Amino acid sequence: MTGARPSQTLVIGGSGFVGGAVLDALVSGGRPVRALARSGPAADELRGRGAEPVTGDVLDPGSLVRAMDGCAVVYHAAGVNAFCLADPRPMERVNVEGSANVIAAAASAGVRRVVYTSSAAALGEAPGTVGKETSQHRGWFLSQYERTKYLAEIRVLREAAERKVDVVCVSPSSVQGPGRLHGTARLLLQYLNGRLKFLTDTRMSFLDVADCTAGHLLAETHGAAGDRYVLNGATFTTRELISLVSRSTGIEHRVRWIPGRAALVSAAAVEAAARTVRRKPPLCREMVRTLLNGHTYDGSRAARELGVRYTPVEETIRKTLRWYTEHGYLNAPLPAGNGKDST
């Protein structure tokens, strides 16, 4: 007698940085994985990573139900993370309505558990406080992205409760590591290539992509339904980050440290000039507001209850530097012996 076919796991957002890492880990673990694909090229990429691509979109509820047919678990890591948008409504549709559609489809398809990738930004902790699962939102938003992720998490948990869907929210801080080119990684690259001329001192929180991936998988097996888990490995200032990168690489570039008010004034000017010619500004007020506010997150609950073990930030930097070197993102090679793992 032939045994029953193992139930599938669906990954939504498998072409992204976080979703792709989760997909790779599931495939490496021998699990049969489907991945939602919006286009032919995306399907080809996902197939090449070992997943079964299925055509669909988070804004197409019917396609989600079809993709989830026969799936016991869904990882929803799709979303838009952008700043300086002239019209944030498309981002809101994907992040909020799209996430609600995922929960509704999971209810229709009889999915056992949904692991939803939220964001530590959705905590909205008050200035000067440590963001954790119990933080009360400050009542106003630093950016449109933060607003959409806050609304999305509320919507996901509400829909899950009403439709009796088992959902666990994972709230990572800034995810970094090999393959990441945006956010804090962009600052790192600009510094290494001598293009980072101005910076303001603030606090930021940091999470290795491998730890983020582990946190997602552990949330599936150990997370409490209807709850959320903050993932964060380290918190430091931008001055400390620059110092760490310099020590790790032997590269030192002069950076001018400017006060927050001057950064906001500069951002407003850049934003206004770009809007005049109908271009997306490379810098805007919500980006600077987010940077100036800074973030300090507490990821200890995930360590205690899920078993997440955080990678030392120095190790993440070394892995990332090696990846940058191998993929040609640095203008000049690192000094001999830097960016390599010690033996």
pLDDT score of 186: 87
Per-residue pLDDT, 338: 58
φ, ψ of residue 192 to 5 degrees: the values are -60, -30
Instruction: Provide Rg for the chain, Cα atoms.
Output: 20
Catalytic residue among 145, 150, 297, 310: 145
pLDDT for the residue 342: 40
Tell me the pLDDT of the chain (343 aa) as tens digits.
Answer: 334 456 899 999 999 999 999 999 999 999 999 999 999 999 999 999 999 999 999 999 999 999 999 999 999 999 999 999 999 999 999 999 999 999 999 999 999 999 999 999 999 999 989 999 999 999 999 999 999 999 999 999 999 999 999 999 999 999 999 999 988 888 889 999 999 888 999 999 999 999 999 999 999 999 999 999 999 999 999 999 999 999 888 888 999 999 999 999 999 999 999 989 988 998 899 999 999 999 999 999 999 999 999 999 999 999 999 999 999 999 887 766 555 544 3
Please tell me the predicted confidence (pLDDT) of residue 156.
98
Cα distance between residue 168 and residue 117, in whole Å: 9
Q: What is the dihedral of CA 212, 139, 286, 192, to 10 degrees?
A: -30
Are residues 308 and 214 in contact, defined by beta-carbon separation less than 8 angstroms? yes
pTM for the complete prediction? Answer: 0.93
CA nearest 294: which of 203, 174, 175?
A: 203
Note the pLDDT of residue 3: 42
- Residue 329: exposed, middle, or buried by beta-carbon count in 10 A (0-12, 13-18, 19+)? middle
Looking at the domain 8-176+205-232+296-311, which fold is it?
A: Rossmann fold (3.40.50)
Annotated active-site residue 229? The verdict is: no
User: First CA to last CA across the chain, in angstroms?
Assistant: 51
Residue 262, pLDDT score = 92
DSSP characters over 117-149: E--GGGG-PPTTS-B-TTPPP-SS-SSHHHHHH
Q: Where are the domains of the chain?
A: 8-176+205-232+296-311
Nearest CA to 220 out of 14, 43, 25 is that of: 25
273 to 64, 106, 276, 288: CA distances (angstroms): 41, 45, 5, 16
pLDDT at 100: 98
